Amino acid sequence: MSTPIAISFAETDLDAIDAATGRVAVFVGEDGKLDPSARRVNKLIRGALSRFVESPAFEKMSPGDVTSLAYPAQLDVEAVDVVRLEKRPGADVARKAGAALAKLMKGGDVLLLAGSNAGAADIAFGFALRAYTFDAHKSAEPTVPGKVRVMATKPEEVAAAAGPMAALAEGVFFTRDLVNEPANILTTDDFAARLAAMQELGLEVEILEEEDLRKLGMRTLLAVGQGSESPSKVVVMRWNGGEKDAAPLALVGKGVVFDTGGISIKPAAGMEEMTMDMGGAAVVSGVMRALALRKAKANVVGLVGLVENMPDGKAQRPGDIVKTMKGDTVEVINTDAEGRLVLADVLWYAQERFAPAAMIDLATLTGAIIIGLGNYNSGVFSNDDDLCNAFLAAAAKEGEGAWRMPLGDAYDRLLKSQLADMKNVGGRAGGSITAAQFLQRFVKDDCPWIHLDIAGVARVSEETALAPKGATGWGVLTLDRLIADRFEA
Ligand code: BES
Ligand code: MN
Ligand code: ZN
């Protein structure tokens, strides 16, 4: 597993700055005032820092921007990185500044002179998130990263604030690793084993095998997996850090370890991207890991439906009619609309077993959401304005893009079937919305619910502020904050 880069915190020691190697970062607010550590650096580089800060180039920088001063005199470092950052930056700006510094790191040590900046922990957090790499399948020896040190006037305070953030970083990395893994490695068995290993952290983990699922009547989930050699599973993870009998928040994830489309097979070009079709399950797993690591005071249950959608002699066919656990029949028009068939049963099971206070599902559900929102926002669908607004506020604070989409009867009617209670596709128009409508049919009216269509944000082909290209871990930070704000005592 990728582990977050180690970052140590120490009290500002001006003499130690003289001996720095690698890179040194200083933080300067819009007033251009240098704190004692920046003044020390300025002296060592013969005033180059104050000259820069007085120049128009500094004026043009936005909060969180970094400019590198190369070849600093009398300092044996590659560069002095000047970060423009107010004394009390917002968490997102501080993290982006830290991430920008991580991007500049080239293997040597890094010294961050945070002084009394209130964002020091978030700077370190952003640094850690952006320093993530996934080299599990590269033969070359991984390069050992340099040491990252933060000097601050109150290092104990910074370290205390950084503690829960380290838990979150581990959760994000767990999610990213799962999304980055190919499908021959991350089979349903392997995925379940990685979740079972989290029992060490104090999570209760239960694995429901095909036999159990058959008994429970999860026929639509099993139908999706019946063309694969890999056994379908549902994994239930419980974190009981809240009050004893308080109803939990339920998190439900789509875990299609590979989506060929089944008999309604996808075109060859780009099919390799479907290794990320377990992105929803990965976010649920990463959040559960973070909650356990930071010992959250909330009751949360995470449920993931793990299946592989393959074409085969045993695979389900277009036209098949399958009965859900709830008891409704579904005409499977397109075997590539499989995520909703998996989620229908897991959503229903989550409510029947746990009577959750609220339920949030995550799924790489539709290509249509990428057409609508691109790679910058997840689609948000909800039956509860209050919960939805809290979610959107948490996403805004964490800098994770989220945009609410509509639900309504007009869309629901598009799922009408000639032969069964519903069909599994509603046509091309409004494809993400009809998918959400399908899910809502398996949500009880009194259960506050959010569906997140993360097809566009789970993995991206360009780097983002806080992640290299590839898996982003989108959603872990927002869900953790929502839990902290709304579900923790
Ligand atoms: N896993 C896909 C959706 C997807 C597409 C995720 C692109 C990530 C990137 C999903 O199972 C799917 O195939 N959806 C179909 C639905 C259609 C058949 C109604 C789609 O979006 O084309
Ligand atoms: Mn599909
Ligand atoms: Zn899929």
- Print the SS3 string covering 71-127: CCCCCCEEEEEEEECCCCCCHHHHHHHHHHHHHHCCCCCEEEEEECCCCHHHHHHHH
Q: Specify the ligand 1 atom closest to the Cα of 428.
A: 19
Distance 206 CA to ligand 1 centre (A): 29
To test the pocket of ligand 1, the residue of 336, 369, 432 to mutate (highest count of ligand atoms within 8 Å of its CB) is: 336
Torsion angle, alpha carbons of 359, 364, 366, 367, to 10? 150
Phi, psi of 256 (to 5 degrees): -85, 105
Say which ligand is closest to the CA of 262: 2
245 burial class (0-12, 13-18, 19+ CB within 10 angstroms)? exposed
pLDDT of res. 142: 81
Helix H or strand E encompassing 450: strand 449-453
Query: Where in the sequence numbering do the catalytic residues fall?
Result: 266, 340
pLDDT of res. 386: 98
Higher pLDDT, 430 or 71: 430
Tens digit of each residue's pLDDT (9 = 90 or more) over 343-388: 999 999 999 999 999 999 999 999 999 999 999 999 999 999 999 9
Q: Is the pLDDT of residue 72 over 80?
A: no
Nearest C-alpha neighbor of 365 from the set 480, 285, 427, 458: 458
Cα separation, 201 vs 198, in Å, equals 5
pLDDT of res. 154: 97
Q: 421 in helix, strand or coil?
A: coil
Nearest C-alpha neighbor of 6 from the set 194, 156, 162, 136: 162
Tens digit of each residue's pLDDT (9 = 90 or more) over 95-145: 999 999 999 998 899 999 999 999 999 999 999 999 999 999 999 988 888
What is the average per-residue pLDDT within 198-206?
Answer: 98
Higher pLDDT, 72 or 175: 175
Q: Tell whether the torsion through CA atoms of 208, 212, 214 and 218 is positive or negative.
A: negative
Render 375-386 in DSSP notation, one character per residue: TS-EEEEES-HH
Say which ligand is closest to the CA of 365: 1
Q: 424 in helix, strand or coil?
A: coil
What is the average per-residue pLDDT within 293-313?
Answer: 98
Distance 201 CA to ligand 1 centre (A): 34
pLDDT of res. 259: 99
Q: Tell whether the torsion through CA atoms of 31, 155, 473 and 382 is positive or negative.
A: negative
pLDDT of res. 4: 86
**Residue matched to tokens 């979610």:** 391
Taking CA atoms only, the protein residue closest to ligand 1 atom 5 is 367
Taking CA atoms only, the protein residue closest to ligand 1 atom 13 is 336
Classify residue 173 by its DSSP letter: H
pLDDT of res. 262: 98
Q: Specify the ligand 1 atom closest to the Cα of 364.
A: 6
To test the pocket of ligand 1, the residue of 224, 263, 271, 277 to mutate (highest count of ligand atoms within 8 Å of its CB) is: 277
Q: 325 in helix, strand or coil?
A: coil
Say which ligand is closest to the CA of 254: 3
Distance 162 CA to ligand 1 centre (A): 38
What is the average per-residue pLDDT within 182-202?
Answer: 98
Average pLDDT, the chain: 97
What is the average per-residue pLDDT within 261-282?
Answer: 98
Taken in order of first residue, the domains within the chain and their CATH numbers are 7-153 (3.40.220.10), 169-487 (3.40.630.10)
Distance 61 CA to ligand 3 centre (A): 42
Distance 390 CA to ligand 1 centre (A): 28
Phi, psi of 437 (to 5 degrees): -60, -40
Distance 426 CA to ligand 2 centre (A): 14
Say which ligand is closest to the CA of 367: 1
Pocket lining for ligand 1, CB < 6 angstroms: 259, 277, 334, 336-339, 364, 366-368, 425, 431, 455
Residues 6+ apart with CB under 8 A from 58: 28, 32, 52, 67, 82, 84
Q: Which residues of 82-94 are buried (b: 16+ CB within 10 A; e: fewer)?
A: bbbbbeebebbbb
% residues pLDDT > 90 (the chain): 96
Instruction: Return the beta strands (E) in 29-75 as ranges.
Output: 66-70
Provide the CB-side half-sphere exposure for 150 (13 A, CA). 33
Q: Specify the ligand 1 atom closest to the Cα of 277.
A: 1
Structure tokens at 436: 């959400």
